[in-house]
Amino acid sequence: MKIEDNKPLDDLNTFGLKVSAQYFAEVNSVEEFRELMEMEIYKTNKKLILGGGSNILFTDCVKGLVVKNSIKGISILSETETEVILKANAGEVWHEFVLWCIERNYAGIENLSLIPGLVGAAPMQNIGAYGVEIKDVFQELEAINMESGEIVKFVLSDCEFGYRESVFKNKCKGKFFIASVTFKLTKLSSPKAIYQFKTDYGDIKNILSDMRAYELSIKAVSDAVIQIRNSKLPNPKELGNAGSFFKNPTISKEQFDKLVLQYPIMPSYPSAEKSGMKQITQLPNVPIAYKIPAGWLIEQCGWKGKVVGNTGSHKSQALVLVNYGNANGKEIWNLALEIQKSVREKFGIEIMPEVNVV
């Protein structure tokens, strides 16, 4: 096992920040991770697992050991006439896995096309986009207890998935290395398969009709999602960013009723979740809370498109903070704190980071 000292992480974080790791190791298998666990450098240092670095803000160089997950492999565990159970190892690139499924006509994750990062990080925040979250197709995952080396299985209920939340961001934070994730997808090649395409979110239907997708397919939905994403979100290869910097906040019905009198155009979505953690599938008849797009709140505070030194809020999506080239992590974090403060002062709403700040 090769351990590198002062390893630059510039290409391993999508903000493009120039930082390094005190110690760095790349693991290609569960066995290699266990081998690493036996080493003194592992036992005596703080550890950070790194996937694609697309949801991380490094505010400084990393003290301790960064473990880059590169465990590859996709396998079919079982299948029926209409469903397939697939296991993807943590180091697979998420979008490549999505495309692999689309090629085989396995449906369920096409709305999650083009989300950067690796499979292993997907359960961390229950990645979601365009009306789908991974919890919708999640079967189980295997993780290594980073203290004992024991392999532990987590089924859906163990993961405590919520909006951009899971047990791995909360009580299990820093305790498990996610090694593989198993999904249950629908085999569209089967005439008996029953599948509901998810095309209600945003502009998907309009784009599909512009694309003249006469026959609805998972490839068409994926292409529509890719088109929308490319029109709104900056490509990290061209402009450093980590997607939405903040989560969309949920406010109580009482607070919503007061704010909407002041801001009648405020966009909102009825929410069944009071906090990010509680998973309720059925919306009550009367919403108990409302989700407000953080992008709107930030735009209303005047931040959209504003450049502050080497950083700023993106011109097409206020929720995305960007690195114009020479920003450091502290600068981006300071901007985030300023934005958070102004939203609090104007609306009395606390917006919380989605990005993992280290």
Distance CA 303, CA 51 (A): 30
163 contact partners, CB below 8 Å, separation of at least 6: 126, 128, 133, 247, 248, 250, 273, 276, 291
**C-beta atoms surrounding 99 within 10 Å:** 16
303 binds, among ligand EPU, ligand FAD, none (CB under 5 to 8 A by kind): none
296 binds, among ligand FAD, ligand EPU, none (CB under 5 to 8 A by kind): ligand EPU
Q: By CB under 6 A, what part of segment 122-141 binds ligand FAD? A: 122, 124-125, 127-129
Per annotation, catalytic residue among 26, 70, 92, 164: 164
Return the number of the residue (334 or 356) whose C-beta is nearest ligand FAD: 356
The reply on whether position 130 binds ligand EPU by CB under 6 A is yes
Angle between helices 94-103 and 218-232 (to 10 degrees): 150
Q: What is the token pair recorded at 140?
A: 């189980």
- Sequence-ordered list of residues with C-beta below 8 angstroms from that of 188, at least 6 positions apart, any chain: 105, 106, 107, 195, 217, 218
Q: Pick from 69, 248, 271, 328 the residue near ligand EPU by CB under 6 A.
A: 248
233 binds ligand FAD (CB under 6 A): yes
Name the binder of 53 from ligand FAD, ligand EPU, none, CB < 5-8 A by kind.
ligand FAD
- 229-266: burial string, b at 16+ Cβ within 10 Å, e else: beeebbebeebbbbbbbbbbbbbeeebbeebeeeeeeb
What's the rounded Cα separation, in Å, for the pair 191 and 206? 27
Note whether 14 binds ligand FAD by CB under 6 A: yes
Segment (H or E) for 155:
strand 151-155
**Selected catalytic residue, list 244, 268, 271, 313:** 244
Any residues with CB less than 8 A from the CB of 3 and at least 6 apart, and which? 23, 24, 25, 39, 41, 65
For residue 52, the partner it binds in ligand EPU, ligand FAD, none, with Cβ less than 5 to 8 A by kind, is ligand FAD
According to CB under 6 A, which one of 180, 186, 199, 241 is a site residue for ligand FAD? 241
* 65 scored as a contact of ligand FAD (CB under 6 A): no
CA 244/CA 267 separation, integer angstroms? 17
Under rule CB under 6 A, how many of the chain's residues touch ligand EPU? 18
Does position 319 interact with ligand EPU (CB under 6 A)? The reply is yes
Euclidean distance between CA atoms 239 and 19, whole angstroms = 17
The only residue of 36, 50, 102, 289 in contact with ligand FAD, by rule CB under 6 A = 50
Q: Which residue number, 51 or 295, has a Cβ lying nearer to ligand EPU?
A: 295
Q: Please, which of residues 150-189 interact with ligand EPU by CB under 6 A?
A: none
Token digits for 250? 């949920």
When the beta carbons of 116 and 276 are compared against ligand FAD, the nearer one is 116
**Is 344 among the residues known to form the active site?**
no
Kindly tell me which residue out of 180, 244, 311, 340 binds ligand EPU, with binding defined by CB under 6 A.
244
Kindly tell me the burial class for residue 38, based on how many C-beta atoms sit within 10 Å of its own C-beta (0-12, 13-18, 19 or more). exposed
4-21 in b/e burial notation, b at 16+ Cβ within 10 A?
eeebebeebbbbbbbbbb
- Residue 147 annotated among the catalytic residues of the structure: no
Signed CA dihedral, 50, 54, 55, 56: sign only: positive
Cα gap 133→184, rounded to integer Å: 13
Pick one of ligand EPU, ligand FAD, none as the site partner of residue 208 (Cβ within 5 to 8 A by kind): none
Name which position in 17, 21, 25, 56 contacts ligand FAD (CB under 6 A). 56
Annotated active-site residue 160? The verdict is no
As measured in angstroms, the least distance from the Cβ of 247 to ligand EPU is 5
Question: 283: exposed, middle or buried (C-beta count within 10 Å: 0-12, 13-18, 19+)?
Answer: exposed
Which of the residues 283 through 302 are near ligand EPU (CB under 6 A)?
A: 293, 295-296, 299
| Residues annotated as catalytic (active site), given as ranges | 164, 244, 354
Binding residues vs ligand EPU (CB under 6 A): 129-130, 202, 232, 243-244, 247-248, 267, 293, 295-296, 299, 304, 317-319, 354
Binding residues vs ligand FAD (CB under 6 A): 14, 48-56, 69, 90, 115-118, 120-122, 124-125, 127-129, 176-178, 233, 236, 241-243, 356
